[in-house]
Amino acid sequence: MIVNIIGTVMKRIIPVALFIFFAVVQLSAQRLTSFAADSVLFIQDLHTFMESSKTFADNGKATVNRFEEVWFTPKITDTLRKQLYFVSNTLLKRQAKAFPHFNQWLNITTRFIESNDIGVNFYAFQSAMVQMCLSKNYRLYHLQSFLQSISQLVESGFININGSTIWKSDADNYAFAFNGDSLRIKFPESNLTCIAVRDSLKLYNTVGEFDPIGKKWFGESGITFWERAGYHRDSVYATFNRYTINMQLSTFEVDTVKFYNHHFFDYPLLGKL
């Protein structure tokens, strides 16, 4: 009887084990290990990789189709192709996912090319991608945060979006630059605006740089007014130098400011904003 029981159990286990074995083999065969360094095969590999998820298949196809429209144009030189092959394989080796990592990287890259902005900022962005993938200091969630920030800036012109809090600059241009091994986005003198649900604030004539991973703004100078309270900007205002803003929030503080109120004082008052 025991023999019969063992035989029955084995008959049930063996088919299941074989099914799992062949499923693993098939999955291994389908897993992409590298992107082909060939313009046509590279696109095919991207379609396969980006459409492998049933949940995001349509979005993945749309992303690759958009990228493909610029891929086979004179804008893409042989040198640029080689770099994008390298970046994509570096991402793959780092085990970046089709969504969100590859999807955002492809859309940002496409946006740069569509805008004919294949210059310093474009190459700085690609270099930052490689550095983050190769560095032990960064995890995939850091990469996702970085890509989200760059996507918001390139696609929408916003420095940072967190829920209903939006920070933006009216600068006509910006520059990517490395501070150590981290990428910073530098803005020339411009006006910085925060838009929130119940309020908004504005900093004028400010210069600064944004950390797209830490979501912090490092300012070097600025001025703010109280026009909404009914005071003319020539009469009541405050000036300041170095300051830091957590752009996840809709508020900021400055330790040292010079406050001017020409209605009452002929000299500035030192204080905190």
Per residue in 62-78, pLDDT (tens digit) is 999 999 999 999 999 99
Mean pLDDT of the residues in the chain: 88
Alpha helices in 51-179 (DSSP H): 57-71, 78-93, 103-114, 120-134, 140-156
- pLDDT tens digits along 139-171: 999 999 999 999 999 989 999 999 999 999 999
Residue 185 has pLDDT above 80, yes or no: yes
Least confident of 102-111, 164-173, 179-188: 179-188
Res 12: pLDDT: 56
- The proportion of the chain whose per-residue pLDDT surpasses 70, expressed as a percent, equals 89
Residue 14 has pLDDT above 60, yes or no: no
Spatial distance between the Cα atoms of 192 and 103, rounded to a whole number of angstroms? 29
Is the bond preceding residue 100 a cis peptide, omega within 30 degrees? Answer: yes
Mean pLDDT, residues 252-267 taken together: 92
Q: How confident is the model at residue 44 (pLDDT cuts 50, 70, 90)?
A: very high
Res 8: pLDDT: 53
Q: How confident is the model at residue 31 (pLDDT cuts 50, 70, 90)?
A: confident
Which residues make Cβ contacts (< 8 Å) with residue 104, sequence separation at least 6? 144, 147, 148, 150, 151
Q: How confident is the model at residue 4 (pLDDT cuts 50, 70, 90)?
A: low
- The proportion of the chain whose per-residue pLDDT surpasses 90, expressed as a percent, equals 77
Residue 198 has pLDDT above 90, yes or no: no
Spatial distance between the Cα atoms of 5 and 182, rounded to a whole number of angstroms? 64
Which residues make Cβ contacts (< 8 Å) with residue 112, sequence separation at least 6? 118, 121, 122, 125, 154
**pTM for this structure?**
0.82
Q: How confident is the model at residue 131 (pLDDT cuts 50, 70, 90)?
A: very high
Res 11: pLDDT: 56
Residue 55 has pLDDT above 90, yes or no: no
Spatial distance between the Cα atoms of 190 and 239, rounded to a whole number of angstroms? 15
Which residue from 70, 85, 179, 82 is spatially nearest to 124, judged by alpha carbons? 179
Mean pLDDT, residues 71-97 taken together: 97
Which residue from 26, 46, 27 is spatially nearest to 36, judged by alpha carbons? 46
Res 7: pLDDT: 53
Residue with tokens 């912090």: 216
Q: Which helix (H) or strand (E) holds 28?
A: helix 2-30
- pLDDT tens digits along 112-129: 999 999 999 999 999 999
Provide the 10 A C-beta neighbour count for residue 194: 21
Spatial distance between the Cα atoms of 204 and 226, rounded to a whole number of angstroms? 12
Torsion from C-alpha of 170, 175, 180, 181, nearest 10 degrees: 100
70 or 26, higher pLDDT: 70
12 or 58, higher pLDDT: 58
